[in-house]
């Protein structure tokens, strides 16, 4: 009998291997995704504490390369990868004490806004002078992020990475929206100039209008920044004031320091007594007023006489008013409050923080968060209430504006201190929760941008560092280390004039958002007309 061989008797046939060209093609398709994420990382590296501000330009040039002429679906994914590359390392400090969960959740949500910006940039990339429209789209994305969800999270605005850059004077022209627009426009313009140059080499032709638009996209922001230097001045206009900034330090970093509230208060009082002794010995100039940081008295001095006595003794020893950061309860409301404590009259003026921090000072979606992790609801067991009035302390004729910690990230919260008469600004902060992370340096850079934006001296008293004195031109003239007790004393200019940015307020941002909407509308309309023409 003849036996017929079957497949069982034969060795398994090997699957055909993909051709080298097919593998290379698949790898090439991954290049835009990898490039988008890496450009996001490059943008992060441009931020403090590094002074590599100029890396924002190639970051946006690369972002333009991966987005130009993409479909909306591809742009959405590429934009999300850019957002992850940027925000994951930038915001890692949000998980220092509470673990990676909140950090990853925050980044996942914030990157969605960047993804939507990617869709907008891809859409307008087909328009004439597209870098202008695309930069406006980026600013529009930042404007939305600064307002939603939960009153917004402006951290990571491009402007906040430019405190050491040549574009910084533009903050005085139109605030953070104009400064950010200029940087992004320059980056997109650099890509477009390179693309047109490559096209010329291939085709031996030059599209003059497109080339002119690309060159202007680079030249105008730079020329504008040079011209805006005339708006930057540290000249005193209403005399000067000698200010003292107190950094008392904390017993140890982390959330647990709140359990040692009396120690934190004592540390700041002790450093103030040390300053007073140095003044009497001639080792330090006598200040006109003293600025303590946020949370320097987490014990309510209105409810606990022993806390009030500590503050009063320090104020009497130095002999001038002391602005104290306290946690107080009034009419059943918990408030993050600055209290001006006069050495003779006691507490005379107060300012209640208005822009409170979600998941820090109030807990949105409390029941949902508690279901995920009960520990988070226990740490924020009670929500703070918001203040309702701008903070400007009148201290013997000198008007000091107050923007407490997180408020420095919000344009309106700093601007309205100046429109209500502030001649200098103080940003009392508490960064002890975030240990030695980059958060401190990122926030310090915000204060430098605000100094130029409103042409005001800005002081930054921080519980654990870095505390600083910043001139109206953005220069840091005094600063402390981290987690050390220290004081800073300096004579600073008081200024009354206002910059265009102060006068214009939100108008430049509105104009750029409208430009972005107009550009996207134009692009969508053009696409629909082209599709109808093809169908016809």
Name the β-bridge partners of 328: 335
Q: Is 110 a catalytic residue?
A: no
Instruction: Report the C-alpha gap between 366 and 217 in whole angstroms.
Output: 46
Q: CA 227: distance to chain centroid?
A: 25
User: Choosing from 110, 142, 405, 423, which is the catalytic residue?
Assistant: 405
Instruction: Report the C-alpha gap between 173 and 231 in whole angstroms.
Output: 8
Q: CA 521: distance to chain centroid?
A: 29
Q: Is 361 a catalytic residue?
A: no
Handedness of CA 279, 394, 503, 130 (dihedral sign): positive
Cα–Cα separations (whole angstroms), residue 248 to 5, 264, 481, 485 = 89, 7, 12, 5
Instruction: Report the C-alpha gap between 291 and 492 in whole angstroms.
Output: 14
Q: Is 479 a catalytic residue?
A: no
User: Choosing from 39, 157, 337, 353, which is the catalytic residue?
Assistant: 353
Instruction: Report the C-alpha gap between 343 and 345 in whole angstroms.
Output: 6
Which distant-in-sequence residues (6+ apart) come within 8 Å of 171 by Cβ?
159, 178, 179, 449, 452, 453, 501
Which uninterrupted H or E stretch holds 64?
helix 56-67
Which distant-in-sequence residues (6+ apart) come within 8 Å of 24 by Cβ?
none
Q: CA 147: distance to chain centroid?
A: 13
Cβ atoms of 457 and 493 within 8 Å: the answer is: yes
User: Choosing from 271, 294, 361, 423, which is the catalytic residue?
Assistant: 294
Report the half-sphere exposure of 142 (CA within 13 A, side-chain side): 26
Q: Which residues are catalytic?
A: 294, 353, 405
């Amino acid at each position: 009998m003849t036996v017929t061989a079957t497949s069982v008797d034969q060795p398994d046939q090997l699957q055909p291997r993909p051709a080298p060209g097919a593998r290379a093609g698949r790898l090439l398709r991954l290049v835009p995704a990898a490039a988008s994420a890496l450009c996001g990382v490059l943008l992060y590296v441009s931020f403090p504490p590094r002074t590599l501000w100029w890396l924002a330009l190639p970051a946006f040039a690369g972002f333009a390369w991966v987005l130009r002429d993409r479909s909306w679906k591809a742009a959405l994914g590429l934009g999300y990868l850019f957002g992850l590359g940027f925000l994951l390392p930038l915001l890692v400090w949000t998980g220092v004490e509470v673990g990676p969960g909140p950090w990853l959740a925050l980044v996942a949500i914030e990157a969605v806004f960047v993804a939507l910006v990617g869709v907008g940039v891809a859409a307008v990339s087909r328009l004439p002078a597209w870098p202008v429209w695309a930069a406006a789209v980026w600013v529009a994305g930042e404007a939305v992020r600064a307002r939603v969800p939960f009153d917004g999270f402006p951290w990571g605005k491009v402007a906040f990475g430019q405190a050491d850059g040549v574009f910084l004077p533009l903050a005085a022209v139109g605030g953070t929206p104009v400064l950010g627009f200029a940087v992004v426009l320059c980056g997109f313009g650099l890509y477009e100039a390179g693309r047109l140059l490559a096209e010329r080499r291939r085709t031996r032709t030059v599209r003059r209008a497109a080339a002119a638009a690309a060159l202007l996209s680079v030249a105008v922001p730079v020329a504008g920044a040079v011209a805006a230097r005339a708006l930057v001045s540290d000249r005193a206009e209403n005399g000067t004031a000698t200010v003292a900034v107190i950094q008392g330090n904390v017993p140890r970093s982390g959330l647990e320091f709140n359990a040692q509230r009396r120690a934190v208060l004592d540390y700041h009082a002790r450093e103030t007594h040390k300053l007073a002794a140095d003044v009497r010995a001639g080792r330090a100039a006598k200040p006109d007023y003293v600025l303590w940081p946020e949370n320097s008295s987490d014990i309510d001095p209105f409810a606990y006489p022993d806390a009030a006595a500590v503050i009063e003794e320090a104020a009497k020893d130095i002999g001038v008013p002391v602005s104290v950061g306290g946690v107080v309860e009034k009419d059943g409301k918990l408030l993050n409050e600055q209290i001006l404590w006069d050495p003779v009259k006691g507490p005379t003026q107060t300012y209640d923080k208005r822009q409170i921090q979600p998941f820090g000072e109030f807990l949105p979606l409390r029941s949902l968060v508690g279901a995920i992790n009960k520990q988070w609801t226990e740490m924020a067991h009670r929500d703070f209430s918001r203040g309702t009035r701008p903070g400007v302390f009148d201290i013997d004729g000198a008007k000091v504006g107050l923007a407490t910690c997180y408020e420095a990230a919000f344009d309106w919260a700093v601007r309205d201190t100046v429109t209500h008469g502030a001649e200098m600004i103080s940003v009392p902060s508490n960064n002890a929760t975030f240990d030695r992370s980059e958060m401190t340096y990122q926030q310090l850079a915000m204060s430098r941008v605000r100094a130029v934006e409103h042409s005001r001296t800005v002081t930054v008293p921080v519980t654990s560092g870095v505390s600083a004195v910043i001139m109206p031109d953005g220069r840091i003239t005094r600063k402390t280390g981290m987690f050390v007790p220290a004081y800073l004393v300096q004579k600073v200019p008081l200024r009354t004039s206002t910059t265009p940015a102060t006068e214009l307020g939100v108008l430049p941002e509105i104009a750029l958002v409208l430009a972005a909407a107009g550009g996207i509308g134009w692009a969508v309309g053009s696409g629909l007309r082209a599709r109808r023409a093809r169908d016809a």
